[in-house]
């Protein structure tokens, strides 16, 4: 999917996000440029840096959703971080390099899961053979039986040698596959590793030191195994999971994850306006500019040390976002501004957009509530006038109080459908029509009482 044309990327984003055409165009171009870079000759390829983007707009207009859908669309490693969580080196808190480590960790786990899924069939076959070994003891003594006590043991389990053994094994295999042995118990050696609880206090890169310390301690401590009685069905799953883990080549997974992060990683840096301070700011804001300076080398391109090895950040795409109510992008330090050449202002959402958000996207809010209530056998129908009224109320409340964009719709919908959601399991009437009058009756009092609407909507 990574070689999608910009127009195709915008079409895919349109399925989930209403409006914001300028922002969609910008991210589509940035993504296509990545593909273009891969086609350029090797000597020039390293000179082409990604064009990072700043999305400017109030909360709830789709900034995060655009970045998240983009990563899903292209199967790119994605990490969302809040810039306000970071502190300057020297202060206690998270350092900016941790976002690269988190991105790599997520990617390693994602690729590991895929590899395990790919070898699942083979792992199940090996697990089945191991289970048959447990059910059909190999020695000539009956003391090695592990399929339960004597009265549960099948007569065929006592045949050990020659052709009889082979046919017994196949009979057991058939019983195992048919689920006839699922309620029988076997003795299984389960490995358990007890980790000592150790707290480490320091200021720089503590997440990384914590990881490595755990790994080091884990490899030093011996693995202890504990014999447990487990049902055959559960034991088979445990053995299959263990075998899948053994079949995965972790060196290959890590190598691929590092390459994927370096070439197609996306970091969504939210609330970047919170670390932009005006000149001469004192007091609690003292570390803001320091965070920007720490951020600069990572966005420019540097090498970050992780527990999986060094990761270069030169070609990671950074999408920053912020409301920029009290500050402007020009309040960021000049060097950082230069690393975000593309600025896109997102439009505030109004009544028309709210109607479309409620009905058009694949994950439209009305569809979500209809699907939830369908599980109780209740069919909810929303009339067009009711949808218009919900959108109008959401817009009015946004204007009267804080403008939280499309998130206001969630609040209004919860308030509107509260009684139905509560009573749904016991309702005799299985078809509910939501019309304009129903919406007005439910929300009129709250909407008219400004103080009440501040608390409830």
| Domains of the chain listed by start with CATH number | 6-113+254-345 (3.40.50.300), 122-247 (no CATH), 351-447 (1.10.8.60)
Total-model pTM? 0.77
Beta strands in 133-197 (DSSP E): 185-192
Alpha-carbon span 314 to 312, nearest angstrom: 6
Instruction: Could you list the beta-strand ranges (E) of 75-199.
Output: 78-82, 185-192
Residues 6+ apart with CB under 8 A from 317: 30, 31, 34, 50, 52, 53, 265, 266, 267
pLDDT the model gives residue 414: 92
Closest CA to 153 of 163, 162, 161, 143: 143
Q: Beta-carbon neighbour count of residue 70 at 10 Å? A: 23
Tell me what pLDDT residue 148 has.
41
Measured between alpha carbons, how far is 184 from 134 in angstroms, rounded to an integer? Answer: 12
Q: Look at residue 144 in the predicted model and tell me its pLDDT.
A: 40
Q: Residue 30 and residue 51: Cα distance in Å, rounded?
A: 6
CA distance 235 to 241: 10
Side-chain half-sphere exposure of 323, counting CA atoms within 13 A: 12
pLDDT at 304: 92
- Residue 32 CB coordination number (10 Å): 18
pLDDT along the chain (457 residues), means of 10: 81 90 91 88 86 90 87 85 81 83 93 90 87 71 40 40 68 81 78 52 47 57 71 83 88 93 91 76 61 90 91 92 87 89 90 92 92 93 93 89 88 92 89 92 81 77
What pLDDT does residue 383 have? Answer: 93
Contact 294, 86 (CB under 8 A): yes
The number of beta carbons lying within 10 Å of the beta carbon of residue 194 is: 8
**What pLDDT, on a 0 to 100 scale, did the predictor assign at position 55?**
92
Instruction: Give residue 19's pLDDT.
Output: 87
Residue 185: beta bridge partners?
231
Where does residue 279 rank: exposed (0-12), middle (13-18), buried (19+ CB within 10 A)? exposed
Here the tokens at position 36 are 């273009």
Rounded CA-CA distance 152/183 in Å is 11
Instruction: Select from 289, 318, 287 the least CA-distant residue to 301.
Output: 318
Note the residue count of the chain. 457
Which H/E stretch holds residue 154?
A: none
């Amino acid at each position: 999917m990574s070689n999608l044309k910009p127009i195709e990327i915008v079409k895919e984003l349109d399925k989930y996000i209403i409006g914001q055409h300028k922002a969609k165009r910008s991210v589509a171009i940035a993504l296509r440029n990545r593909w273009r870079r891969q086609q350029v000759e090797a000597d020039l390829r390293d000179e082409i840096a990604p064009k990072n983007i700043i999305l400017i707009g109030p909360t709830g207009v789709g900034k995060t959703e655009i970045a998240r859908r983009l990563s899903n669309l292209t199967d790119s490693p994605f990490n969302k971080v809040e810039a306000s969580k970071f502190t300057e080196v020297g202060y206690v808190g998270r350092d900016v390099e941790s976002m690269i480590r988190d991105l790599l960790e997520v990617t390693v786990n994602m690729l590991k899961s895929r590899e395990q899924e790919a070898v699942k069939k083979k792992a199940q076959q090996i697990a089945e053979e191991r289970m048959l070994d447990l059910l059909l003891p190999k020695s000539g003594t009956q003391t090695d039986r592990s399929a339960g006590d004597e009265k549960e043991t099948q007569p065929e389990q006592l045949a050990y040698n020659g052709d009889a053994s082979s046919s017994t094994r196949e009979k057991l295999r058939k019983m195992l596959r048919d689920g006839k042995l699922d309620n029988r118990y076997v003795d299984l050696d389960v490995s358990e590793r007890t980790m000592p609880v150790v707290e480490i206090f320091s200021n720089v890169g503590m997440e990384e030191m914590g990881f490595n310390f755990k790994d080091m301690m884990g490899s030093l401590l011996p693995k202890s195994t504990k014999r447990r009685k487990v049902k055959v069905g559960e034991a088979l799953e445990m053995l299959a999971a263990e075998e899948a883990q053994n079949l995965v080549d972790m060196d290959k997974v890590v190598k691929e994850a590092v390459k994927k992060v370096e070439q197609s990683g996306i970091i969504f840096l939210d609330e970047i306006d919170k670390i932009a301070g005006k000149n001469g700011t004192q007091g609690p804001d003292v570390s803001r500019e320091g965070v920007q300076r720490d951020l600069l080398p990572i966005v420019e391109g540097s090498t970050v040390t992780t527990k999986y090895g060094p990761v270069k950040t030169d070609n990671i795409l950074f999408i920053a976002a912020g409301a920029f109510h009290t500050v402007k992008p020009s309040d960021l330090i000049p060097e950082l501004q230069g690393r975000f050449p593309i600025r896109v202002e997102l439009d505030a959402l109004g009544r028309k957009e709210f109607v479309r958000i409620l009905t058009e996207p694949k994950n439209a809010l009305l569809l979500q509530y209809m699907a939830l209530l369908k599980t109780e056998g209740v069919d909810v129908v929303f009339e067009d006038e009711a949808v218009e009224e919900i959108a109008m109320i959401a817009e009015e409340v946004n204007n009267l109080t804080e403008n939280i964009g499309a998130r206001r719709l969630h609040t209004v919908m919860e308030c509107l459908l509260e009684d139905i959601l509560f009573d749904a399991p016991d309702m005799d009437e299985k078809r509910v029509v939501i019309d304009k009058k129903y919406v007005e009756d439910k929300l009129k009092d709250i909407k008219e009482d400004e103080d009440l609407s501040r608390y409830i909507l």
